[in-house]
């Protein structure tokens, strides 16, 4: 179904971004460090929002865990 395809594309894009940001964390100085921090912060806030919404709406834990994005740290 269309929602599953959208979720798969979003997950793949998130994984690509995660790999790029992880390589940026190896740079000791520069804008890459700031970008890495900002992306990690955005993912963390998104996961928090998803978790709180799932709790408020009584969504199954397994479904919620499958939609959480992996951390960048």
Whole-number Cα distances in Å, 3 to 14, 15, 27, 44: 16, 18, 37, 23
pLDDT of residue 32: 86
Nearest CA to 41 out of 72, 12, 13, 11 is that of 72
Residue 53, pLDDT above cutoff 90 = yes
Alpha carbon distance 59, 42 (integer Å):
22
Residue 72, pLDDT above cutoff 60 = no
* Rounded average pLDDT over 50-67: 92
For the entire predicted model, the pTM comes to 0.71
Residue ranges of alpha helices (H) inside the chain are: 2-24, 31-57, 61-67
Nearest CA to 66 out of 3, 12, 6, 11 is that of 11
């Amino acid at each position: 179904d269309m929602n599953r395809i959208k979720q798969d594309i979003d997950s793949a894009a998130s994984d690509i971004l995660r790999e790029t940001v992880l390589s940026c964390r190896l740079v000791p100085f520069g804008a890459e460090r700031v970008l890495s921090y900002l992306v990690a912060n955005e993912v963390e806030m998104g996961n928090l929002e998803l978790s709180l919404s799932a709790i408020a709406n009584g969504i199954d834990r397994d479904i919620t865990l499958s939609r959480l994005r992996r951390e960048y740290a």
